[in-house]
Amino acid sequence: MAALGVSPGAAPRAASKAALQLDYLTCDEIASQSPVWWQTVLGVVGFEKPPAIDGARVPVTASMTPSLGVNGNLCEVWRVAGPEVRLSNGAAKRSRVHYRFCEELLFGSITIEERSIGAEGLGGGGSNGDSGALIRATELAYQEIFAVLQETEHRHLIRIWNYLPEINRDTGGDERYRLFNSARQLAFRNSGQAIVGTVPAACALGSPAGSPISIYFLAARQQPKMIENPRQTSAYHYPPKFGRHSPIFSRACVLHESAGTNLFVSGTASIVGYETIHQGDVGAQTRETMANIIALLGEANRVVGSARYSVDGLKFKVYVRQPADLRAIEEALSGWLRSSTPIVYLHADVCREDLLVEIEATGESGS
């Protein structure tokens, strides 16, 4: 990393690097932090519901996916640290996006209730009811996100978390996840974004009926390096049998120009090529998912040119479709992970009906 001193004749130094850091903290731990600590917080994500903290200071949101197991009260906290890091809150007019940013990085969140969306203006004169509202809400959310990134010049989405109520429910022939994929792809196109290659790491999970659509994201001024998995077809090249419009996400990405936390592993599941494997066997799905994450770590290390990332440096979020499977998943993971590895289990529907588990991870370098 850059030395603090500027030697005579050196080129002007770029702004000091922000170290992005992820912590899983209880609400009580968050409540007892000092003002100095709060100055470093980009955003706070609760799981079942937004935590009761003052949303005027930082964006506060929730995935609407309840915790499983012992870690009831945890929140996901994104912070930046660095000698010259200054954070500002977002002030985009007429935007539902809450955001906070420093020179290099931006955290944002948006929630939209489908029932607040009129079906007017859509083909079919509104007869498509709730599928129209999901499509419109998704388009609006992404449109507003890209507008913020344009305005603040953090033009590169690096990681985006998508939570949709009833993700697997069928609405007149189309699953809601597939409608979401169509709307997401349309929104990327309409905002002039790439739809293959340089697309963010992501996940898409189901929340309980009646939840708002909840989306949060990290963006950067610098282009991240995208990582694909040699064991899997790129999601943006999935064949049409998985939906008319492919999901737009990369398997992982590396924030090469940052200090600190900088590997983002997308939601990863028991998919080899493009097919789900080990249907009905949650233990085997968990092991296959870890094999996919190990393959991604290998790719990430190859791309950065050193053995920087390993399973031991990752923090995990595990989405469990059926709470009764929690024990079997923990058992399968115990072969891969240390007991000290940070890991949060959440109850959520996974975006293919036959997937029982999905795992995402965030990696730190220099730790």
User: What residues pair up with 314 in beta bridges, in sequence order?
Assistant: 363
- Binding residue (CB under 6 A) for ligand 3EB from 20, 202, 254, 314: 202
Chain centre to alpha carbon of residue 135:
20
203 binds ligand 3EB (CB under 6 A): yes
219 binds ligand 3EB (CB under 6 A): no
**Which CB, 162 or 262, lies closer to ligand 3EB?**
162
- Binding residue (CB under 6 A) for ligand 3EB from 132, 247, 260, 313: 247
183 binds ligand 3EB (CB under 6 A): no
The alpha helices in 104-175, defined as continuous H runs, are 129-152
Taking CA atoms, 185 is separated from 22, 195, 302, in Å, by 29, 7, 29
Q: Of 76, 46, 44, which is closest to residue 58 (Cα–Cα)?
A: 44
Residue 264 tokens, joined: 């983002």
295 binds ligand 3EB (CB under 6 A): no
Q: Of 56, 99, 46, which is closest to residue 76 (Cα–Cα)?
A: 46
216 binds ligand 3EB (CB under 6 A): no
Of 69-77, 207-215, 264-272, 296-304, which part binds ligand 3EB (CB under 6 A)? Answer: 264-272
Cβ neighbours of 134 (radius 10 Å): 27
Annotation says 144 is catalytic: no
CB-count burial class (<10 Å; 0-12, 13-18, 19+) for 167: buried
Let me know: does 249 contact 184? Beta carbons within 8 Å. no
204 binds ligand 3EB (CB under 6 A): yes
Contact mark string toward ligand 3EB, 335..364, x via CB under 6 A: ----------------x-------------
**Which CB, 136 or 184, lies closer to ligand 3EB?**
184
Catalytic residue among 114, 299, 358, 364: 358
What residue ranges bind ligand 3EB (CB under 6 A)? Answer: 162, 202-204, 235, 247, 249, 266-267, 269, 271, 351
Tell me which residues are annotated as active site: 358
